[in-house]
Amino acid sequence: MTQHEFDRLTEKYLAGQCSDEEIALLEKWATLHYDEQSTGRLFDSDKAEQETREKIWQLLKTGSLSGKRIIPVKWIAGIAASLLLLGAGLQYLRQMDRHSEKQVTEVVSDTTSGHPSRITLPDGSSVILGEGADIVADESFGAENRKVWLDGEAFFEVMPDPQKPFIVQTGDLVTEVLGTSFRIKPQQSQKKIEVSVVSGKVSVYTAESTGKNKKDGVIAMPNQKVSYDLILKTLRQDLVDAPQPVQKAESHARFLFDEVPVGQVLDRISEIYGVQLIAGNPDMRQCIFTGDLTGLDMYRQLDFLCEVTRARYEIRGTAIFISGPGCQAAQR
């Protein structure tokens, strides 16, 4: 959690607007990062407000904000996975009731070994946590849904379960899947977080967009990415920088063509990568193409094809538009 986020949550607490989860986050932040002597550096504010917030710090320190305490438990190493999550500034722990002694499960990477920590979640989903990363799930994980809170870098391979969506919260961004692999990567220099889908599909929305308001989010398919602007709080959907075959069996697919219409070549590329290719001029699809595009990535294939047909392509959102004079003009 950043200084700005800590300030924001503290202001919410002063106004009596903090949820139980946000109070737990404040407790965790205080427990992990500050001692009594460092309190004065937490805020840039006037003396009166500083004194008030120092009182909050004392409450945080003793855990008396919510009448609950935190007991983390380290998870055992498990199986490697195939998707990357890079969390953006959230250190979140569920709470443990003093009376019920309900256990909180915390997964923590080994920050001293210099190697990723491998774990398996209770539902069978696999995770590789990067150095210094935390992933948190309480004891009710899998009862109604499968929600975790992430801070840092992690690879996931989610086990399918249509009845219990897998939800990853990273700061204000929520990624919800049924069974898939994807990457979450913060771009701190650009003040944004990117969610890139490898397989399956995911729903991406902000933490405030719950219930009916989820419609304000977006659905991303393989080779698509969603960028969340941390400043403007907006979502944008585009193609990933390096599209991959949507099926592993197609990773070595051959693209050898002998006098076939360009339309068939475009359909083949679209099928392999799951990307919509649109020819602006229908005549282009009738042009004849001979060539071997095997071993080239999708964009290099399009570069080669457009060079031969005197066409050009443009990426618009999650689709690629191809424009050109058509085969008759090209052959003159």
Indicate whether 96 and 206 sit together in one domain. yes
- The single-letter code of the amino acid at 222 is P
What's the pLDDT at 70? 27
Domain boundary among the residues 239, 258, 291 is at 239
Domain boundary among the residues 173, 205, 239 is at 239
What's the pLDDT at 212? 53
Residue holding tokens 């009731």? 97
- 224-230: average pLDDT: 92
| Res 61 pLDDT > 50 | no
Q: Please tell me the distance from the alpha carbon of residue 6 to that of residue 42, in angstroms, as a whole number.
A: 9
pLDDT digits (tens, 9 = 90+) for 101-133: 333 344 444 434 567 778 888 888 888 777 777
What's the pLDDT at 31? 52
DSSP classification of residue 75: P
Lowest mean pLDDT among 71-80, 199-208, 282-291: 71-80
Domain CATH number, residue 217: 2.60.120.1440
What's the pLDDT at 209? 64
| Res 228 pLDDT > 70 | yes
Indicate whether 138 and 45 sit together in one domain. no
240 in Cβ contact with 247 (< 8 Å): no
Q: Residues 237, 241, 242, CA angle at the centre, nearest 5°?
A: 125
- 136-152: average pLDDT: 82
Distance from chain centroid for Cα 326: 40
Q: Which element (helix H / strand E) includes 60? A: helix 47-62
Indicate whether 210 and 297 sit together in one domain. no
Per-residue burial over 222-231, b = 16 or more CB atoms within 10 Å of its CB, e = otherwise: bbbbbbbebe
What's the pLDDT at 201? 87
- Across the chain, what does the average pLDDT equal? 72
| Res 94 pLDDT > 50 | no
Indicate whether 134 and 76 sit together in one domain. yes
Task: Work out the percent of the chain whose per-residue pLDDT is above 70.
Answer: 62
Indicate whether 169 and 258 sit together in one domain. no
Domain boundary among the residues 213, 239, 265 is at 239
What's the pLDDT at 15? 62
Q: Please tell me the distance from the alpha carbon of residue 138 to that of residue 146, in angstroms, as a whole number.
A: 10
Indicate whether 275 and 306 sit together in one domain. yes
What's the pLDDT at 116? 73
**Confidence band of 28 (pLDDT split at 50, 70, 90):** low
Q: Please tell me the distance from the alpha carbon of residue 6 to that of residue 3, in angstroms, as a whole number.
A: 5
Indicate whether 171 and 55 sit together in one domain. no
| Res 188 pLDDT > 60 | yes
Indicate whether 165 and 256 sit together in one domain. no
Domain CATH number, residue 303: 3.55.50.30
Indicate whether 193 and 207 sit together in one domain. yes
Indicate whether 166 and 138 sit together in one domain. yes
| Of residues 268 and 216, more confidently modeled | 268
- 51-79: average pLDDT: 39
The DSSP result for 214-258, as a single string, is GGGSEEE-TTEEEEEETTTTEEEEEE-SS---SSGGGTT---EEE
Number of domains in the chain: 3
Indicate whether 123 and 183 sit together in one domain. yes
Lowest mean pLDDT among 26-30, 39-43, 167-171, 322-326: 39-43
Q: Which residues pair with 205 in a beta bridge?
A: 174
Indicate whether 81 and 193 sit together in one domain. yes
130: containing domain: 71-239
| Res 87 pLDDT > 50 | no
